[in-house]
Amino acid sequence: MATPSVSSFCFVILLCSAAAEALEGGFSVELIHRDSPNSPFYDPSETPFQRAEKAVRRSIARIRGLRSNDEGEPSAGISRIDGEYLINITIGTPPVSIMAIADTGSDLMWTQCQPCDVCFPQVLPLFIPRASSTYEQVHCVSDKCHLFEKTFCNTQGFTCQYSAVYGDQSYSEGNISTDIIGLSTLMGSAVPFPGMAFGCGFNNDGLFGIHTTGIVGLSAGNTSLVSQIGGNEGTLFSYCLVPFFSTSKLTFGRPLGPTPNSPFEVSGSSGPGAVTGNMIIDSGTTLTWLPSDLYRQIEPAVSAAIDLPRAKDPIAGYSLCYTSSGVLKGAPSITVHFTGADVVLNWYNAFFQVKEDITCFSFAPTDDLPIYGNLAQMDFRISYGALLFQPTDCAD
């Protein structure tokens, strides 16, 4: 079944007009790095290198979370520690603010709701469904219910319920519901989208952190925020990550150009699972994790090109580190060859200063699902739908 268009969601003419105009022209919202000054997680007492170390440790936790997922589903890859980027949305009438993890590796959008049987602590108030005049529960026999994975029918109320378990055994369970989702643009105006389906969680646990309320899935799945906004026009969104710990832009409804790239395929991966589309592009992972056999070919070439003293890995997340501060002198030019496209990286896409005098290669080996991390994505506008990379100064 095709995802409904924006117009088919509309029941208030004013809201439909605002949403349609916004999609036609495109609009941008803030994508808040968890360590930026605009983030509720920001700790001014930490040094940039302490933040860098924690980012790497979160990246390691995320790849381990994927490894522990027996079903091997990319959508179950959320880190046990809060994701790298946050997005502020509103739900309901009157609107209630939600601060959620923005995750390109999953599709379900959910938030904690009252009454809550089991909820992790959060600073923001719980969303109260009965307080929203536009809130509706989804019936278990409706087509919308069947768009979601792992749904079942509550035989008492015949409502559609979901169950999401992530790679680290964090989980959310609740009702599939619909309501107005609001996105605040960079210009300060609000863009409402009526009838958006989301999970209203009443049984949720995991190490999500008190400053988040849930997850906003940004994958290509039918139930993600971007797929629902895109409707029959397709999943059109892009983001441009500012280097390191700042606020970036997430843009909806504005394609970059006419030439799509093919799905990511990792060349040189000799394992039995080396098939087209075998790599996740993930905003929630810092490092880029390559198949071990491919990494073993790359590291010697990188090492041979850099004439600097080797340094001991300070975090156990890298295997190639140098004594260097600031710009890494002699860093080789690295080009990532995807099917149908070559992406030429800047030096800071491939090397990361983790201590005052230590800079490390931000690629690492894995025997599990490869991940293209957010350091390699900085200063590229990355468009989904037709997957495109466009070199950009994202700070502009």
Q: Considering only CA atoms, which of 191, 231, 198 is closest in space to residue 216?
A: 198
In the set 107, 179, 282, 379, the catalytic residue is 282
User: How far is Cα 114 from Cα 130, in angstroms, rounded to an integer?
Assistant: 9
Q: Would you say how long the chain is, in residues?
A: 396
In the set 35, 82, 103, 379, the catalytic residue is 103
Contact call for residues 322 and 357 (beta carbons, < 8 A)? no
* Residue 379 appears among annotated catalytic residues: no
Cis peptide bond N-terminal to 272, omega within 30: no
* Residue 367 appears among annotated catalytic residues: no
Contact call for residues 127 and 91 (beta carbons, < 8 A)? yes
SS3 315: coil
Non-local (6+) Cβ contacts of 77 within 8 A are 62, 65, 66, 69, 105, 106, 166, 167, 280, 282, 284, 369
Question: CA distances (Å), 373 to each of 16, 55, 198, 281, 285, in order?
Answer: 36, 11, 27, 7, 5
Q: Which residues are catalytic?
A: 103, 282
